[in-house]
Amino acid sequence: MDAAVSAAREKLKNVTPLKRDCGRVCGARCCRPLEGEETGMLLFPGEAEAYAGKAGFEVRKTARGDLLICSGTCDREDRPLSCRLFPLLPVIGDDGKVRAVTDLRAKAVCPLARQGKSAVDPDFAEAVREAGEILAAEDEQAVFLDMLEEEQSELKELRNRLI
């Protein structure tokens, strides 16, 4: 696995959005696909190899990158980086500094995301920011973070046109 991804995953290993299991708040909606849909989490570059041949996981190639499809339950140790970051996202600002923001894609399923970053444990938000710094220091990961941030900008623009 990519060294930066491994270090970022380790940074988020023991922190969660709430001091308790946030899945109990919403019935683990983030781990359940919508009825009739097969959904997954986008893997960071170099992360797919951690799931090769692993029972309960399937990696699919998409235009945006590797998508991890799972059964909706896994050991915490097996969670991909996207799940560990959820419902936040590290972004690289114009000033080059990394900050943690609410992932707009999460608002559809996560009550915490609907409330904003202030709803999550500050230690979790800081760990997401620090994981983002680790990722941003590596060119391939920084490009991936930029792609994710571009998606966030597109979602904001769409939301603003609809509101």
Q: What is the pLDDT of residue 24?
A: 72
**Within a 10 A sphere around the Cβ of 71, how many other Cβ atoms?**
11
What is the DSSP annotation of 43-76? PPTT-GGGGTT-TTEEEEEETTEEEEEE-S---G
Cα distance between residue 124 and residue 128, in whole Å:
6
Higher-scoring residue by pLDDT: 42, 162: 42
Q: What is the pLDDT of residues 84-113, one digit of tens each?
A: 999 999 999 989 999 999 998 888 888 888
pLDDT digits 0-9 by tens, 6-33: 999 999 999 999 887 777 777 676 777 6
Amino acid letter at 42?
A: L
Position 89 scores a pLDDT of 96
Summarize the confidence of residues 53-82 as an average pLDDT: 88
| pLDDT of 152 above 80 | yes
- pLDDT interval class at 56 (50, 70, 90): confident
Tell me if the pTM is above 0.85.
Answer: yes
Please tell me the least confidently modeled range out of 34-38, 136-140, 149-153: 34-38
> Based on the number of CB atoms within 10 Å of its own CB, is 141 exposed (0-12), middle (13-18) or buried (19 or more)?
buried
* Structure confidence at residue 37 as a pLDDT band (50, 70, 90): low
> What's the pLDDT score for residue 92?
94
Q: Using CA atoms, how far apart are residues 38 and 140, in angstroms rounded to an integer?
A: 27
